[in-house]
Each structure stands twice: as structure tokens, then as C-alpha cells.
């Protein structure tokens, strides 16, 4: 099955990170401003195996190994930089933010814009 071209994804912009599906991510290899939830072994699953939360993001690297080994570090740095640009300072508690069990919990660690 062939997939079509990615449509609607904006061009790269300084200070902006785009969160997309893994399918879109695989089509835009090399774009360091595009991330997707890491649904691999670190994802949190319910009793039926469905993903309920993710613990990290992956970046569109040049190879699958790049995505897995280095992607989450780049995504973390990009997310922190985006928060710094948007809010004028770092996330209050980076360790708690990354230990959060869900995206909703993680958002609680991002302070509101002053």
C-alpha cells in the first residue's frame, strides 16, 4: 500500500515543533522540527495493551535507529526550547514533567504565560 504525500504540514519555523502521527513522521525524515509520540516499549499501556500515555517523543531522523536512540533527546530539547520561547523561561520542573504519566499530567508542569 502506497501512502500519499503529506499535506498541511507547515514549513519549518524557528521555535516551533510540530506534533504529528508516526505515519506522518515516517514520511518527513530529516525534519528536526517534527515529532511523534514514541509508541514503543516505553509507552504506558492498559490491561488490554492499548496505549494510554507516552513517556517521550521521537524526531524524524535519517534512520529508524536515529529515531530510537537520539530522537527523544532532540524532541526533549526542542520541547524545552519551544516552552522557553513561548513562556520566556524553562519548564518549572523538568524531571517531574518527563516523569508525568500522561500528556495531561505533563502540561501541569508548564507554567502559564506571565
Bridge partners of 18? Answer: 34
- Read off the pLDDT of residues 29-81 as tens digits, 9 standing for 90 and up: 778 888 888 888 888 888 998 988 888 888 876 555 454 545 556 666 777 67
pTM more than 0.75: no
CA-based diameter of the chain, in Å?
49
Residue 85, CA distances (Å) to 21, 49, 50, 90, 112 in order? 24, 37, 34, 9, 13
Amino acid at each position: 500500500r502506497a501512502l500519499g504525500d503529506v499535506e498541511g504540514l507547515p514549513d519549518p519555523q524557528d521555535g516551533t515543533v510540530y506534533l504529528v502521527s508516526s505515519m506522518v513522521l515516517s514520511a518527513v525524515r530529516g525534519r528536526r522540527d517534527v515529532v511523534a509520540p514514541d509508541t514503543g516499549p516505553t509507552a504506558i499501556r492498559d490491561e488490554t495493551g492499548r496505549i494510554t500515555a507516552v513517556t517521550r517523543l521521537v524526531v524524524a531522523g535519517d534512520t529508524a535507529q536515529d529515531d530510537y536512540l537520539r530522537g527523544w533527546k532532540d524532541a526533549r530539547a526542542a520541547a524545552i526550547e519551544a516552552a522557553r520561547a513561548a513562556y520566556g523561561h524553562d519548564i518549572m520542573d523538568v524531571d517531574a514533567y518527563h516523569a508525568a504519566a500522561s500528556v495531561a499530567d505533563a502540561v501541569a508542569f508548564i507554567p502559564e504565560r506571565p
